[in-house]
Amino acid sequence: MAKQCWKPGALLAPVPAVLVSCGEGERSNLLTVAWTGTVCTKPAMTYISVRPERHSYPLIRERGEFAINLVNRPLLRACDWCGVRSGRDGDKFAAAGLTRAPASKIAAPLVAESPVNLECRVTQVLELGSHHMFLAEIVAVDVEESLLDGSGKLCLDRAELIHYTHGEYFAQGEKLGSFGYTVRGPGRKKTQRFVPPSAEK
């Protein structure tokens, strides 16, 4: 199969599009981020990469915390709008019709309408170039109760999360398998859904 060799570029897709909340009180702000992902399991760690010229950059750098708010279909318009407007021009929570909710471990607010919120505390800042990476420990996870089944297991497929692929948003598609399906025999147990630590015995 013929291929072309292009110059270096961040051609990794799809990636999550999330709303990041930062700051405190009425001065808190929202920004849309697609450069985010998993770093480590124990301790649970994530990252966001932000341009230093963004209004939210000093809020995150000075306070050392932020929240990643996952985005579903109902939040998509607000997510896109927050990516093209600056917090320098006004209260983005109010303008986007979103609600500040108190976090349990950090001072930055959560987006109440988001189905899942990750409360994050910065551990390291890597000044890489166009973006600076905020490595952070996830200190709490807030999950909408409607995403839990009768036994308390998380059914994230119910959230209708969206993802981002080079300028375009997409909804989650057809399920093709679960982790380990290629080596699982007919008599073996199915892969278990994620069970939050608080529900483990």
What whole-number distance in Å separates Cα of residue 85 and Cα of residue 184? 48
What whole-number distance in Å separates Cα of residue 84 and Cα of residue 77? 11
Q: Supply the pLDDT for residue 189.
A: 58
Q: Supply the pLDDT for residue 47.
A: 98
35, pLDDT greater than 50: yes
What whole-number distance in Å separates Cα of residue 180 and Cα of residue 15? 22
Q: Supply the pLDDT for residue 193.
A: 56
Q: 77 by DSSP, 3-state: which?
A: helix
13-26: average pLDDT: 94
The mean predicted confidence, pLDDT, of the chain is 92
- Domains of the chain, by residue range, sit at 15-195
46, pLDDT greater than 70: yes
- Please tell me the least confidently modeled range out of 56-60, 65-69, 133-137, 192-196: 192-196
Q: Which CATH architecture has domain 15-195?
A: Roll (2.30)
57 CB contacts (<8 Å, ≥6 apart)? 50, 51, 132
59, pLDDT greater than 50: yes
What whole-number distance in Å separates Cα of residue 7 and Cα of residue 10? 10
Q: Supply the pLDDT for residue 201.
A: 46
Q: Supply the pLDDT for residue 184.
A: 80
In angstroms, the first-to-last Cα distance of the chain is 51
